[in-house]
Structure 1
Amino acid sequence: MALFTKKKGEVNLPTYQNQNLKTAVDRIIFDKITTDEDKYIIDLATDLLNGKPLVLNFEDIDADGANKTVAFLSGVIFACDGRIEEIGPKIFLFARSQDFKDGTLKNFINEYKS
């Protein structure tokens, strides 16, 4: 008998705003980055840490603003053992490692790239 066992096939999913969302794709926030204001970037990081993957489009921001945003979010991703995927020119997916477990984000990436 093991002290710590995990029930096979059962995954506890977080509840967001009283609505149980089954997949990571259902929680994705799509945004076109137009500013590098600190409050805005921190709000994006908070969403990411709260289990909402981000698909961010950096086409309408200058290189310095894009670098600042990517650098900050890269630190957040590193801290929560997440991943960054380039899914298009100047379009990136930021997500925690837990968000990839259900397989829907990988499917989303493959569909978007094809």
Structure 2
Amino acid sequence: MKVKIKKKFNNIEFSEYNNKEKGGKKRSSLLTSFDRMEYSIVTDNSKDTLFHICDTILSGRAVLANFDKLDPEDANDMLNFISGVVYATEGKIFQIDEKIFLFGRKEEFEDGSLYQYVEDTK
């Protein structure tokens, strides 16, 4: 006698952060915040580089910045300035590695894709 086993699949929504019934916002794009994230390898401590990272954050895109090629003092100066921008937008900063940081406004974290990235890199 053979027994049939039915597999039950969970119905998983893309993101519980985007549920309208729970007060989530309607997304205007099919891309997640992770898909729209900009990766930046910081090689100099110029104001142009610093302002480019800050402008990207302010424009609604998360930034994954690698400060590996910068000396610690210059990297800390840039981190202080970027941290102020992130704080002003009620955003979040995650340290992914020793010299790699993820910056984003609170709106970029609402879809859950950036939180998932942070968890996956641990």
AA matched with 1:13: R
Task: Look at both structures and tell me which one has the larger radius of gyration over its CA atoms.
Answer: 2
Counterpart residue number, 2:60: 51
AA matched with 2:70: I
Cα contact 2:42–2:49 (8 A) shared by 1: no
C-alpha distance in 2, partners of 1:81/1:93?
Answer: 14
Q: 1:24 aligns with which of 33, 48, 60?
A: 33
In structure 2, runs of 5+ residues without a counterpart are: 1-19
Q: Any idea what SS the aligned residue of 1:8 has?
A: helix
Cα contact 1:56–1:91 (8 A) shared by 2: yes
Cα contact 1:77–1:96 (8 A) shared by 2: yes
Write the deviation string for residues 33-62 of structure 1: whole angstroms up to 9, x where unpaired.
111101111111000011110111111101
Matches within 5 A, 1:55-66: 55-66=64-75
Alignment TM-score, normalising by the size of structure 2: 0.77
C-alpha distance in 2, partners of 1:59/1:51?
Answer: 25
Note if 1:12 corresponds to 2:26: yes
Moved over 4 A (4+): none
RMSD, aligned α-carbons: 1.5
Write the deviation string for residues 52-81 of structure 1: whole angstroms up to 9, x where unpaired.
101111111011210111011001001000
Number of aligned residue pairs: 102
Q: Any idea what SS the aligned residue of 1:75 has?
A: helix
AA matched with 1:107: Q
Note if 1:112 corresponds to 2:89: no
Note if 1:88 corresponds to 2:101: no
Counting aligned pairs with the same residue, the percent is 31
Q: Any idea what SS the aligned residue of 2:68 has?
A: coil
Counterpart residue number, 1:67: 76
In structure 1, runs of 5+ residues without a counterpart are: 1-6, 15-19
C-alpha distance in 2, partners of 1:11/1:86?
Answer: 27
